[in-house]
Every structure is written in structure tokens, then in C-alpha cells.
């Protein structure tokens, strides 16, 4: 594959990942003690869980057409983030004993249910209400497509090189898949941390006022991904040993 | 999220000293890998531990300002940069011809520092983070991350060239393990010790113990590819035991008192 296409694909992937992170209901430490809406952990952890699952499902589709790899990554990431949010909600509802409610909006934009009455005084909401769940699934979709795209671009570039040729022609090259997977994982972490700096640690989803910072975050991720892609080209140029 | 806050306080340990230990120790360790099939990988693993101690000190200096995203996030980011930079540097070293294989690890570190610097500049200029040491701190951190990955990879593979590392570290999937393990080793010490009474000497004792326990695990990972695996594992485990004892002793010395809470009561009182 042309190195320029690889840089382009990695850049688009980075922007998708950075944008997707803005949709995740990241609650951080306050959510861990049920005093803020969202999943009670940081962006890096949520990204790690969904990115790794997405990359494994995308890698399972290696050799298929591009859209299948992207769909594989998206489904894996969406499933993982969905399971994380649902099990988190079980803990918040039956373990902590709180009602899923958002303090950022008075009514849930999707279900139109009243939120205000159910927010415990002194907290910023708790649990993962419907709008946050839907937003999180959208985030998983974007992130998964981005991760799959980066994996596809690096794998397809590497596998044509003699050093990464598959042991049996026509089969998957494990070395190329691992390098591509680690590269995509690194890209995922870099962009998710930049996005998390942009949202200042916590966000509820697309209904959160902080969501307006999205364009700035996407631009930042775009620039970081171009540089990452440029450095990634060395992987291809050195693969001829 | 992070409540470290404040920042910029006087550190008990000179940053130049930890940087020196990290850079010189790490590079000597990595470049000494080919000297002997047993001693070389051992030195590479020790070099990686030096880099981890440096990384833990660098993360403490950056994160003491309060990142807003928690200490682990910058640790993951720097290791992601370190892995990308290391792989690209090792592969790029080959491009320049076999005479220049020597340059490859150095190129990996330089690429990581460049990428780390770019990301920190983006965070400062575009996102507008107000941490004065963000750029230099991130550059130090990514260099330490790259050195720790290189050192442990060389210890497992028994060489710092791309082909053996690709065969016994990347294709086996150990690179993913190194990614997360080194992140933990670098970010855990400050994440565990942060607070108003944080003492950098004590934090770095914990950093030595997390580095050495990683080294012991790296020794076990090298079972299939390196003759030195048992030496690395045993020395790592012994050094881990000593450094963890030092850390526990330092914690006890600084504590007002240490008391055993006793077992919970037999019946719950209602």
C-alpha cells in the first residue's frame, strides 16, 4: 500500500477515535463513589477495554474486505463498552442503591423522563441513564471503526513486505498482525488521552455542555495522528530486511 | 479526578540525577546486550529498571500539578508513544543499512521523544493545559518509556536488533504485556504515594520495587529465547524483595504509628 494512504488512514482513524472518546460517559473518581454520572473510571481504562476488544474482533476479520474489518472493530468496541456500562449500572442500582440520573439535563433527551427529582442533593447524578448509554454506544462505534481502520492500514502495508510475509501464502501473517495491532492500540491510547485532556477528565455524553469542545479535540487528535502516521511509515521502510 | 494538585514543590531528589541514571543506565544496558549471552540480557533488564525509576520520577513531577485525568492516563499515553517510537526506530535503523544497526535503539528513543513533545505541545497550545513542565516532563517520560520497552525487549530476545525482537517479543504477543506492565511500573509509584506528605525518596523506592518485579516477570518471559532467563528472574525477584522491604520500612518510619486493626467481630452489631 502507498505510504501516503497509510498516513491518511491513520490520521482519519485517530480523529475518529478522539471524537468517539467525547461520546463516552466517563465519570472518573467521583462516579466510582456514585456522586457523578457515568462509568466510575478514567478515559484510558475505558479506551483500553473497548479498544482491545475492538482490535481483537477487527483482527479476527483479517483478510476480509475493509468494511468487514471496520464492522468487526465497531461491533467489538460497542459490545465491550455496552457490557461495561450495563454491569456498571447493575452495581449502581442494586449495589449502591441509586437511580440512574443525569444532573446535566432536566429531562433525558431520549426518553423525556424527568431527571432533576432523582438526583441526590450534593451529587452530580449517578448511574448511567439512557442518554449516556446511547452516547456511549455511539462512542464505541466511532472508536471501533477508527481502531479497525488503523489496524487495516498498517497490516495491509506490512504484509506486502518480505520480512512480514505469511509463513503459508494466503494465510494471516502473525508478525504483521501483531505489529499492526500494537500500533493501532498505541494510536488508540494517544488519542484517547488527548481527548480526555480536552474534556478535563469527565464527560456524560453528547448532552453534556463539555461536548461543545469536540471540534478542538478532533483537531488536536488529527495533528497528533498525522505525526504518529509519519513515524509509522518507518515501520514499512524498515521491513525489507 | 486527580487530587494531586499544587505541584512544583521541592523534590527530595535532584531531577538531573534520576534523568542521568535513566538515560545512561538504560542506554548502557541496551548496548551491552551482545557482550555475553547471560550477562548482556541481565544488563539490559537492569537498564530498563533504571529507565522505570526515571519515568516514575518524571511522572511525579508532571502529575503533581494535577492533570485532571488521573496519573495513569499520562502513563498509558507515554508507553503508547514509547512502543510506537521503539518499533519505528528499530525498523528505521535497518533502512540505513546493516552498518547502522547500532543507531536503531537510539533512533527509537529520539522518535519517542519527538512524538511525546508534539503531543505535549498540542495539549498545551490547542487544548490549553496550564502545566509549566508539561512539554519537558512528557518528553522525559516518553524517553523513559521507550528505554524500558527496549531494555526489556532486548532482555527477552537477547539482542536489540529488529529481527530477533520481532520474532520473540512482538510475534509472541509479549509486546502487549510489556506495554501494560511498564505502564503499571512507571505510573503506580506516584499514583500510590501522591498527597501532601509525598516523599520522593519513598516514591522512588516503590518505583525500584515495581521495576524489579517487572524484571522478574521479564526473566520468565525470556524462557524460550534467552539463556539468561533464570538469572534475570532470580536477581529481579531478590532485588524486588529488598526494595519492597526498603519501601515498607520508609513508610513505617514516616507513619505516626502503625497499628493492627484486629479481625472483624464475630457477630455484627445492629
Check residues A193 and B3 and name the one with the higher pLDDT. Answer: A193
Give how far the C-alpha of residue B18 lies from the chain's centroid of Cα atoms, to the nearest Å: 12
pLDDT band at residue B111 using 50, 70 and 90 as cut-offs: very high
- What is the rounded end-to-end Cα distance, in angstroms, of chain B? 35
Query: Quick one: pLDDT at residue A54?
Result: 92
The rounded mean pLDDT for chain A is 89
Q: Which residue of A has its CA nearest to B93?
A: A238
Out of B60-64, B195-199, B250-254, which region has the weakest mean confidence (pLDDT)? B195-199
Tell me, yes or no, whether B262 lies in a domain: no
**Measured between alpha carbons, how far is residue A111 from residues A133, A134, B159 in Å?**
12, 11, 59
Number of structural domains found in chain B: 1
Query: Quick one: pLDDT at residue B238?
Result: 96
- C-alpha span between A131 and A64 (Å, rounded): 34
pLDDT band at residue B166 using 50, 70 and 90 as cut-offs: confident
Q: What is the mean pLDDT of residues B260-270?
A: 76
Pair A98, A37: CB distance under 8 Å: no
Question: pLDDT, tens digit, for every residue of A151-203?
Answer: 999 999 888 887 787 777 777 888 889 999 999 999 999 999 999 889 887 88
**Measured between alpha carbons, how far is residue A163 from residues A150, A157, A180, B127, B190 in Å?**
20, 12, 14, 40, 41
A236 neighbourhood in chain B, CB within 8 Å: 91
Tell me, yes or no, whether B267 lies in a domain: no
**Cβ-defined contact of B94 to A45 (cutoff 8 Å):** no
Tell me, yes or no, whether B36 lies in a domain: yes
pLDDT of A241 over the 50 cut: no
pLDDT of B258 over the 80 cut: yes
Question: pLDDT, tens digit, for every residue of A212-234?
Answer: 999 999 999 999 999 999 998 88
CA dihedral B210, B6, A42, A13 (to 10 degrees): -100
Tell me, yes or no, whether B9 lies in a domain: no
For chain A positions 161-220, those within 8 Å of chain B (CB to CB) are: 163, 174-175, 178-179, 181-183, 185-190, 193-194, 196-198, 200-202, 216-217, 219-220
Tell me, yes or no, whether B5 lies in a domain: no
Tell me, yes or no, whether B126 lies in a domain: yes
User: What is the CB neighbour count within 10 angstroms for residue B12?
Assistant: 12
pLDDT of B108 over the 80 cut: yes
ipTM above 0.85, yes or no: yes
A200 neighbourhood in chain B, CB within 8 Å: 68-69
Query: Quick one: pLDDT at residue B7?
Result: 52
Q: Which residues contact B189 (CB under 8 A, 6 or more apart)?
A: B56, B60, B203, B204, B206, B207, B210
Query: Quick one: pLDDT at residue B128?
Result: 85
Pair A22, A32: CB distance under 8 Å: no
Most A CBs within 10 A among B3, B80, B92, hence the mutation to make, goes to B80
Domain boundaries, chain A: 3-233
* Helices within A22-124 (DSSP H only): 28-32, 43-60, 66-90
Tell me, yes or no, whether B64 lies in a domain: yes
Query: Quick one: pLDDT at residue B3?
Result: 43
Most A CBs within 10 A among B91, B95, B130, B167, hence the mutation to make, goes to B91
Query: How buried is residue A98: exposed, middle or buried, by Cβ count under 10 Å (0-12/13-18/19+)?
Result: buried
Note the pTM of the prediction, 2 decimals.
0.90
Q: What is the mean pLDDT of residues B66-94?
A: 88
Query: Quick one: pLDDT at residue B268?
Result: 66
With an 8 Å Cβ cutoff, is A42 touching chain B?
yes
Tell me, yes or no, whether B199 lies in a domain: yes
- C-alpha span between B207 and B149 (Å, rounded): 16
List the domain range (segments joined by +) for residue B197. 17-254
Question: pLDDT, tens digit, for every residue of B31-78?
Answer: 998 888 889 999 999 999 999 999 999 999 888 887 777 788 899 999
Query: Quick one: pLDDT at residue B270?
Result: 60
- C-alpha span between A201 and A209 (Å, rounded): 14
Amino acid at each position: 500500500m502507498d505510504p501516503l494512504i497509510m498516513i491518511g488512514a491513520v490520521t482519519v482513524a485517530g480523529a475518529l477515535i478522539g471524537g468517539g472518546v467525547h461520546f463516552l460517559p466517563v465519570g472518573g473518581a467521583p462516579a466510582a463513589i456514585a456522586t457523578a454520572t457515568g462509568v466510575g473510571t478514567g478515559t484510558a481504562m475505558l479506551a483500553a477495554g473497548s479498544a482491545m476488544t475492538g482490535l481483537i474482533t477487527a483482527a479476527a476479520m483479517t483478510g476480509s474486505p475493509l468494511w468487514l474489518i471496520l464492522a468487526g472493530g465497531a461491533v467489538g468496541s460497542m459490545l465491550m463498552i455496552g457490557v461495561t456500562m450495563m454491569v456498571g449500572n447493575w452495581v449502581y442500582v442494586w449495589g449502591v442503591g441509586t437511580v440512574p440520573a443525569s444532573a446535566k439535563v432536566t429531562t433525558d433527551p431520549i426518553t423525556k423522563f424527568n431527571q432533576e427529582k432523582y438526583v441526590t442533593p450534593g451529587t452530580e447524578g449517578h448511574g448511567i441513564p439512557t442518554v449516556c448509554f446511547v452516547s456511549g454506544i455511539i462512542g464505541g462505534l466511532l472508536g471501533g471503526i477508527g481502531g479497525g481502520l488503523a489496524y487495516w492500514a498498517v497490516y495491509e502495508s506490512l504484509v506486502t513486505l518480505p520480512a512480514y510475509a505469511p509463513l503459508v501464502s494466503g494465510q494471516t501473517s502473525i508478525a504483521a498482525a501483531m505489529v499492526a495491532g500494537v500500533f493501532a492500540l498505541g494510536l488508540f491510547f494517544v488519542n484517547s488521552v488527548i481527548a480526555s485532556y480536552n474534556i478535563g477528565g469527565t464527560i456524560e455524553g453528547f448532552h453534556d455542555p463539555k461536548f461543545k469542545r469536540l471540534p478542538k479535540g478532533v483537531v488536536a487528535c488529527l495533528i497528533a495522528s498525522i505525526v504518529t502516521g509519519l513515524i509509522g511509515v518507518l515501520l514499512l521502510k524498515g521491513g525489507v530486511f | 479526578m486527580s487530587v494531586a494538585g499544587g505541584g512544583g514543590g521541592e523534590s527530595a531528589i535532584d531531577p538531573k540525577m534520576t534523568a542521568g541514571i535513566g538515560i545512561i543506565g538504560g542506554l548502557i544496558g541496551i548496548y551491552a546486550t551482545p557482550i555475553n549471552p547471560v550477562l548482556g540480557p541481565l544488563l539490559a533488564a537492569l537498564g530498563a529498571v533504571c529507565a522505570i525509576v526515571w519515568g516514575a520520577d518524571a511522572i511525579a513531577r508532571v502529575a503533581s500539578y494535577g492533570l485532571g485525568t488521573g496519573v495513569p492516563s499520562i502513563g498509558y499515553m507515554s508507553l503508547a508513544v514509547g512502543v510506537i517510537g521503539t518499533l519505528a526506530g528499530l525498523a528505521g535503523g535497518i533502512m540505513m543499512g546493516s552498518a547502522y544497526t547500532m543507531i536503531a535503539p537510539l533512533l527509537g528513543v529520539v522518535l519517542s521523544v519527538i512524538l511525546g513533545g508534539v503531543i505535549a505541545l498540542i495539549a498545551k497550545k490547542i487544548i490549553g493545559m496550564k502545566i509549566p513542565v508539561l512539554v519537558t516532563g512528557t518528553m522525559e517520560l516518553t524517553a523513559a518509556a521507550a528505554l524500558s520497552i527496549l531494555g526489556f525487549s532486548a532482555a527477552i530476545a537477547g539482542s536489540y536488533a529488529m529481527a530477533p525482537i520481532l520474532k520473540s517479543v512482538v510475534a509472541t504477543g509479549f509486546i502487549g504485556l510489556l506495554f501494560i506492565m511498564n505502564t503499571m511500573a512507571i505510573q503506580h509509584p506516584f499514583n500510590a504515594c501522591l498527597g501532601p506528605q509525598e516523599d520522593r525518596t519513598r516514591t522512588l523506592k516503590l518505583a525500584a520495587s515495581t521495576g524489579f518485579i517487572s524484571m522478574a516477570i521479564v526473566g520468565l518471559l525470556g524462557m524460550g529465547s534467552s539463556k539468561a532467563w533464570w538469572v534475570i528472574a532470580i536477581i529481579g525477584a531478590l532485588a524486588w524483595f529488598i526494595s519492597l522491604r526498603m519501601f515498607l520500612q520508609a513508610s513505617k518510619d514516616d507513619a505516626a504509628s502503625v497499628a493492627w486493626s484486629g479481625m472483624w467481630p464475630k457477630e455484627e452489631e445492629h
